C-alpha cells in the first residue's frame, strides 16, 4: 500500500510514541471523491465492513422479503456472541429448519463477558452460533435454501458467493482483482479504498431510488442504524457511535483496521484503512472524519472515547493520549 499518510497519533508524556498511517476516502452521492487522505487507489480487503454488500442478494432474491429489522441488522453484524445475538440467530436457524451444524463459519469464543464466562463455568465449548459472523451466515443459509443450492455455501463457486461477488463488483464499480478467505471462511473480495467508499455512497443514497437493489440497500441501512446493539454490542465503537449519532448513520468496522460509514442525510460514503491494522487507530480515524463532517459532536462522550481517549496504565494513571494526526484535525 503505497503513500499512506499519518492519521492517528499516540502520545506518552510529551513524546509522540507511535503514529498510525492509512488511507481514507469520502465520496459524494455520485461516487466522486470529496476528500481523501493517502492513496484512494490502495487495494484492500474490506473484511467485515462489506457485510451489508454481502447481504444484498438475500433481499434482492426475495428470500429475505419477510425478515425483521433485527434479522437484517444481524446479517450485517460482527456481534459479540451475547445472548441478544445468539438467541436471535438460533431462532432464525429454527425458522429455516436448520441447526448449528449447517453453519460454515466455525465456533468462536464469545467476546461478550457474560456469555464467555457462562460457557467456561459450565465447562462447555462455544458453538458456531457464537461466531461474530453467524448472523451473516444465517442470511447465507436462507439464500442457499431459496436457491435450492448445495450446503457448502462458503465456497467461491457456490451460487451464494457468485451473487455476493456480482453485487460487490457492481456497487464498488470495480472488477475485484483478487479474493481472500475471511475469518468466517467466506470469500472476501478486494477493492480500492475509493471503491469501498463509492459503495457506501450507493447505500447512503439508496432511499432516493426505487429499484430492487436500492430498496434492499435502504432496508439494510435502516436496520443497522436502528439496532446498533445487534450490529456489534455493548462497549463497541459501532454500537456506541451509531447511538450517539441518533441512529441516523450506519457504520461498520472490519478486521485489520478497516472502517466504513454511510451518511444518508449528507449523502456521503466513507471508507478508511489503517495500514498496520490497529483497531484503536481505525476507531479514532472514523470518529474524526464523522466529527469533521458534522454528524457527531467532538464533545460527545462516544466521540471522545474513540477519537481522543486518554491512555492509562494498570494503576489507572494517565500516561498519555491518542488523537487524530494534523491531517484529520
329 residues of the chain, pLDDT tens digit each: 679 999 999 999 999 999 999 999 999 999 999 999 999 999 999 999 999 999 999 999 999 999 999 999 999 999 999 999 999 999 999 999 999 999 999 999 999 999 999 999 999 999 999 999 999 999 999 999 999 999 999 999 999 999 999 999 999 999 999 999 999 999 999 999 999 999 999 999 999 999 999 999 999 999 999 999 999 999 999 999 999 999 999 999 999 999 999 999 999 999 999 999 999 999 999 999 999 999 999 999 999 999 999 999 999 999 999 999 999 98
pLDDT of 2 reads 78
Cell, residue 168: 460487490
Q: What are the residue ranges spanned by the domains of the chain? A: 5-328
Residue 75 near residue 279, CB atoms below 8 Å: no
- For residue 261, the cross-strand partners are 251, 270
Measured between alpha carbons, how far is 326 from 308 in angstroms, rounded to an integer?
A: 13
pLDDT of 1 reads 63
pLDDT of 167 reads 98
Element (H, E) at 27: strand 15-27
pTM: 0.97
Among 129, 134, 137, residue whose Cα is nearest residue 100: 129
Architecture of domain 5-328: 3-Layer(aba) Sandwich (3.40)
Angle made by CA atoms 275, 281, 282, in degrees to the nearest 5: 75
Among 15, 11, 4, residue whose Cα is nearest residue 40: 4
Residue 105 near residue 184, CB atoms below 8 Å: yes
Amino acid at each position: 500500500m503505497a503513500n499512506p499518510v499519518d492519521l492517528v497519533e499516540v502520545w506518552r508524556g510529551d513524546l509522540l510514541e507511535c503514529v498510525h498511517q492509512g488511507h481514507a476516502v469520502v465520496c459524494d452521492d455520485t461516487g466522486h471523491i470529496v476528500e481523501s487522505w493517502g492513496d484512494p487507489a490502495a487495494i484492500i480487503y474490506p473484511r467485515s465492513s462489506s457485510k451489508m454488500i454481502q447481504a444484498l442478494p438475500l433481499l434482492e432474491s426475495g428470500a429475505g422479503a419477510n425478515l425483521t429489522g433485527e434479522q437484517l441488522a444481524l446479517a450485517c453484524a460482527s456481534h459479540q456472541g451475547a445472548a441478544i445475538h445468539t438467541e436471535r440467530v438460533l431462532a432464525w436457524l429454527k425458522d429455516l429448519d436448520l441447526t448449528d451444524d449447517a453453519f460454515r463459519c466455525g465456533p468462536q469464543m464469545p467476546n461478550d463477558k457474560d456469555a464467555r464466562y457462562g460457557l467456561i463455568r459450565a465447562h462447555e465449548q462455544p458453538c458456531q452460533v457464537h461466531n461474530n459472523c453467524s448472523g451473516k451466515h444465517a442470511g447465507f443459509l436462507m439464500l442457499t435454501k431459496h436457491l435450492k443450492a448445495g450446503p457448502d455455501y462458503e465456497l467461491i463457486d457456490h451460487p451464494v458467493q457468485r451473487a455476493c461477488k456480482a453485487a460487490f463488483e457492481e456497487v464498488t464499480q470495480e472488477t475485484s482483482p483478487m479474493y481472500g478467505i475471511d475469518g468466517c471462511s467466506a470469500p472476501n473480495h478486494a477493492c480500492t479504498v475509493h471503491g469501498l467508499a463509492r459503495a457506501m455512497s450507493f447505500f447512503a443514497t439508496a432511499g432516493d431510488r426505487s429499484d430492487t437493489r436500492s430498496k434492499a440497500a435502504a432496508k439494510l441501512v435502516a436496520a443497522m442504524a436502528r439496532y446498533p446493539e445487534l450490529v456489534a454490542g455493548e462497549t463497541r465503537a459501532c454500537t456506541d457511535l451509531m447511538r450517539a449519532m441518533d441512529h441516523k448513520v450506519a457504520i461498520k468496522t472490519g478486521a485489520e483496521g478497516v472502517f466504513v460509514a454511510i451518511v444518508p442525510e449528507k449523502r456521503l460514503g466513507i471508507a478508511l484503512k489503517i495500514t498496520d491494522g490497529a483497531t484503536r487507530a481505525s476507531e479514532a480515524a472514523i470518529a474524526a472524519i464523522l466529527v469533521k463532517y458534522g454528524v457527531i459532536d467532538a464533545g460527545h462522550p462516544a466521540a471522545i472515547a474513540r477519537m481522543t481517549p486518554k491512555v492509562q496504565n494498570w494503576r489507572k494513571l494517565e500516561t498519555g493520549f491518542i488523537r487524530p494526526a494534523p491531517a484529520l484535525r
